[in-house]
């Protein structure tokens, strides 16, 4: 009986090491994919923030210019707001499912590759 345990003991030790190594590998792969996805979204978020600031100032300038052309400043702001209401309607009702699907597919492909 002692002879059988001496055969299985190294096998169990190797199996334990393999399990620990496999678990560490899974943790590292998960960390790698998570940091890759996080870095992509942080860099895109920063770019989107800078673009948003540009867009705000461009819209204010456009609204003031349109208001000057139309005779009252608030007319220009109303025109710009109306344009964004139309854009929001198109995005919310027409492209909403496409945007969700695109983001989902992007995240899935990043995690699986």
Q: What is the pTM of this model?
A: 0.60
pLDDT in tens, 21-72: 999 999 988 888 888 888 888 998 999 999 999 999 999 999 999 999 999 9
Domain ranges of the chain: 2-112
Angle among Cα 83, 74, 71 to the nearest 5 degrees reads 105
pLDDT in tens, 3-31: 666 777 888 888 889 989 999 999 988 88
Give the whole-angstrom CA distance, residue 85 versus residue 34: 36
């Amino acid at each position: 009986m002692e002879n059988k345990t001496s055969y299985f003991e190294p096998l169990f030790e190797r199996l334990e090491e393999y399990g620990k190594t496999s678990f560490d590998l899974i943790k590292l792969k998960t960390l790698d994919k998570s940091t890759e996805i996080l870095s992509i979204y942080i860099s895109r978020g920063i770019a989107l923030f800078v673009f948003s600031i540009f867009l705000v100032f461009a819209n204010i300038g456009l609204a003031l210019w349109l208001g000057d052309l139309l005779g009252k400043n608030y007319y220009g702001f109303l025109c710009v707001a109306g344009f964004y209401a139309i854009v929001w309607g198109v995005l919310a009702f027409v492209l909403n499912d496409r945007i969700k699907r695109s983001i989902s597919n992007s995240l899935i492909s990043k995690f699986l590759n």
